[in-house]
Amino acid sequence: MRVGSRQIAYSEFGEGVPLVMLHGGGPGASGMSNYSRNVDVLARDFRVIVPDMPGYGASSKGLSREDTFGDLADGIRGLLDGLGIDRAHFCGNSLGGACALRMALDTPGRVDRMVLMGPGGIDTTRSLPTPGLRALLGYYKGSGPTREKLRAFLTRYLVRDGSEITDEIVDDRFRASIDPDVVANPPLRGPAGLRAAIRMDFTRDRRLKDCRHATLVLWGRDDLVNRPSGAHSLARRMRNADVHTFANTGHWVQWERADEFNAITAAFLTAGAH
């Protein structure tokens, strides 16, 4: 779909209340690769919309370096406009979680309930970047993108049990990560990406304490990309945030604990329906 000067690709499943599922920002990420274990189940109850966010997958490349979260939110809001959707539930992992939260702060009327899995932009000013975030931001630096660097990121930092990452997953994401348009302008990269994350730290945003959206914060206790302490940081600041942490789980909660994720997400999103 054309959104301003961009093309945003998306997949759609099911019927009912719209649920927009936003993927993370790791190398080669895309909507369906993030949510392959979730869409069929959630589409039983919702109209599930899974975009490739701007900068990723089959969508137009290039993101604002100054306000990455805001640029993503603008793109997804434009997609909703094009689909004729005024208000939707949002489910966001990592960078997608940051996009959903930014939408709730900027245009609260467009967002119903939120499920945020290890969202980015939480407490990024308090300490040095995590090993996983360093690996993500450094993927295009030095020797540039390689299959070995991508496998290391996926197996060491994205999930707790790297043996579940298949060669097919690595190959698909590696092909996406070396798209010439992405290599020329990676959406998240190096010190500039870290500086942007620090500038956009949500815990410095005074609007967060006034955010009244019912929110479910999900975090793997072994997340090496975004620190699990962020879950409780959000709970302290958001009036209506519930927190569920998953033992023996890394950054990819919706993939590593798919059955539980699908059940708790469906229950939470339907709880507000009357």
Q: What angle do CA 58, 124, 184 make, to 5 degrees?
A: 30
Model confidence over 58-86: pLDDT tens digits? Answer: 999 988 877 889 999 999 999 999 999 99
| pLDDT at position 63 | 86
**Helix pair 95-106, 68-83: axis angle to 10 deg:** 70
Cα–Cα distance between 3 and 60 in angstroms, integer?
10
Least confident of 13-22, 44-53, 184-193: 184-193
Other Cβ atoms closer than 10 A to 225: 25
| pLDDT at position 206 | 87
- The whole-chain average pLDDT of the chain stands at 92
Model confidence over 94-122: pLDDT tens digits? Answer: 999 999 999 999 999 999 999 999 999 88
Is the pLDDT confidence value at 190 over 60? no
| pLDDT at position 198 | 59
Cα–Cα distance between 259 and 261 in angstroms, integer?
5
Cα–Cα distance between 171 and 65 in angstroms, integer?
28
* The pair of three-digit structure tokens given for residue 24, joined into one six-digit string: 């993370």
Q: Which residues pair with 115 in a beta bridge?
A: 91, 216
Sign of the CA dihedral running 249, 209, 125, 139: positive
* Pick from 269, 221, 216: nearest CA to 245: 221
Q: What ranges do the domains of the chain cover? A: 2-271
Is the pLDDT confidence value at 274 over 50? no
* The pair of three-digit structure tokens given for residue 165, joined into one six-digit string: 């990452």
Whole-model pTM: value is 0.94
Mean pLDDT of 251-258: 98
Just list the catalytic residues: 251
Q: Report whether 21 contacts 13 (CB < 8 A).
A: no
Q: Which residues pair with 6 in a beta bridge?
A: 3
The amino acid present at 178, given as its one-letter code, is I
Cα–Cα distance between 205 and 185 in angstroms, integer?
28
Instruction: Name the DSSP letter for residue 206.
Output: G
2-271 domain in CATH 3.10.450.40?
A: no
Q: Report whether 214 contacts 223 (CB < 8 A).
A: no
The per-residue DSSP string of 153-205 comes to: IIIIII-S-GGG--HHHHHHHHHHHT-HHHHHS-SS-HHHHHHHHHHT-GGG-
Model confidence over 203-229: pLDDT tens digits? Answer: 788 899 999 999 999 999 999 999 999
Residue 233 vs residues 19, 70, 100, 202, 264: alpha-carbon distances, Å:
25, 21, 17, 10, 21
Q: Report whether 230 contacts 256 (CB < 8 A).
A: no
* Pick from 48, 118, 36: nearest CA to 90: 48
Q: Which residues pair with 91 in a beta bridge?
A: 21, 115
